[in-house]
Amino acid sequence: MTLPAQACTLIATLNQSGYEAYAVGGAVRDMLRGKAPDDIDITTNASPEQMVDVFSSFRTIPTGLRLGTLTVLIDRTPFEVTTYRTDGTYSDGRHPDTVCFTSSLTDDLARRDFTVNAMAYHPSEGLIDPFGGQDDLNAGRLRCVGEATERFSEDALRIARLLRFMSVLDFTAEEATLRAAKELCERLTLVAAERKRVELTKALVGTGFEAAAVALPEVMGQLVPALRPCIGFEQYNPHHKFDVYKHTIRAVQNASNDLIVRLAVLLHDVGKPSCFKRDENGIGHFYGHPAVSRAIAERQLKELRFDNATTQAVLPLIKAHDIDLPADRKILKRRLQLLGKDGFERLLAVKEADASACRPDSVPPDFGEVRRLYKEILDADECFSLRDLAVNGNDLIVLGYPKGPLIGTILDAMLDAVITETLPNTADALTAYAKECWPL
């Protein structure tokens, strides 16, 4: 492994002052996988006061000196340097009540969540791996450091982190670790909604999301309670082989790696259980489920503290996920009017993912012709929104129409006529249309 020069400088600076220092945690894991780490944390036996003294010539930020962490900046890049420590009891199920500094690197590594995150590295000494993290990494396995039940009981967030790492790393979980996560998943109620949202969004875009979510439906149900009724809910429909939950998870895995698309797919069918009806032949139907799913999803996104922009991008996709997208220019322009360019492209991605997860033995709809027509519409710069009209509200006012609701009514009618190709999108044709239908 090769550490970046800045990290080597920090380690060398501590070593030259007589202290131990190592790169630790996720950075070591990622470098062993041949991946450049997003950030590098350093751990040392220097006390917080000693760190401040050692790095007196560097720009530093006292991020959390009480807990032993000092942020050191080199070339404007921040590095967290933390004193070896052990954690006390976790009375709130999330944070240690006390932190004790220690002189033992092994004791510091022992408090970490998974073995693959409990390794340290020194440019001269090499890898320090007291808990078999490298073997687990090579095996594609996540295993708690020590007793899994104890690790998850200390900090419930680790349960969500297990799901996230299974998805992002595309790893399986060791049996005892998986079992403990399932048994203790209700402790996720101790975790703040914002933290659950962070873990969920990272997991959603992972390459191993389907395997992780199928292995841990209980955890997904705690992170996204709207999914709970979907788990094991059979659809009794010839178009579907999987229950609602497994269909949803497979569709997410098959979706484009866009968080908005994957959130929409994750929540697109949450209304199905409450809309379920079986006909006289025993076939299951879910009439009206897109609108119900949208309402449930809105509450769920709010509970998870998603920002308004994300929510407003996701909800129209859920409501529209079941509408037809035929290879018809006029209808496609209607859909573009409804959703806009970005929304339309995402709806296509949602529908493709949804269709791909119905029956493995069926051929999903081919949207190739739809994509071709859509490209033609864009290339021809065809009008499908008010801002594309050759006439605007000011033009109508100049013609003599009074400000007010009538302006909007006329513009909407113009747009409808252009989309249906009743009128060309030219100023002359549109103004003549306005004067004919709404004489001054």
Whether residue 362 has pLDDT greater than 70: no
pLDDT at 308 (0 to 100) = 97
Q: Beta-carbon neighbour count of residue 282 at 10 Å?
A: 8
340 by DSSP, 3-state: which?
A: helix
Q: How many whole angstroms from its chain centre is CA 262?
A: 7
| 73: its two tokens | 């900046």
Determine whether 252 is exposed, middle or buried from the number of CB atoms within 10 Å of its CB (0-12, 13-18, 19+): buried
Of all helices (H) and strands (E), which one includes residue 27?
helix 26-32
DSSP 285-331: E-TTHHHHHHHHHHHHHHHTT--HHHHHHHHHHHHHTTS---S-HHH
Residue recorded with tokens 């949804």: 354
Query: Which of 179, 180, 190, 182 minimizes the C-alpha distance to 156?
Result: 190
Residue 46 confidence (pLDDT) above 90: yes
CATH architecture, domain defined by 140-223: Orthogonal Bundle (1.10)
Q: Over the stretch 386-422, which tens digit does the pLDDT of each residue have?
A: 999 999 999 999 999 999 999 999 999 999 999 999 9
pLDDT above 80 (res 363): no
Assess contact for 362 and 343: CB atoms under 8 A. no
Q: For domain 1-138, is the CATH number 3.30.460.10? A: yes
pLDDT digits (tens, 9 = 90+) for 267-289: 999 999 999 999 999 999 999 99
Between CA 105 and CA 86 the distance in angstroms is: 10
The pLDDT-based confidence of 229 (bands split at 50, 70, 90) is very high
pLDDT at 93: 87
Give SS3 for 183: helix
Give mean pLDDT, residues 60-88: 92
The answer to whether the CB of 16 falls within 8 A of the CB of 78 is no
Q: Which residue has the higher pLDDT, 58 or 66?
A: 58
Q: How far apart are CA 210 and CA 251, in angstroms?
A: 9
- Encoding tokens for residue 84? 């070896």
197, β-bridge pairs: none
Beta strands at 172-173 and 141-142: parallel, antiparallel or unpaired: parallel
| pLDDT-above-70 percentage for the chain | 99
Backbone region of residue 278 per phi and psi (left: phi > 0; alpha: psi in -120 to 50; beta: other values)? beta
Q: How far apart are CA 240 and CA 410, in angstroms?
A: 45
| Residue 439 CB neighbour total at 10 angstroms | 6
Q: State the pTM of this model.
A: 0.90
> Alpha-carbon torsion 368, 373, 374, 379, what sign?
positive
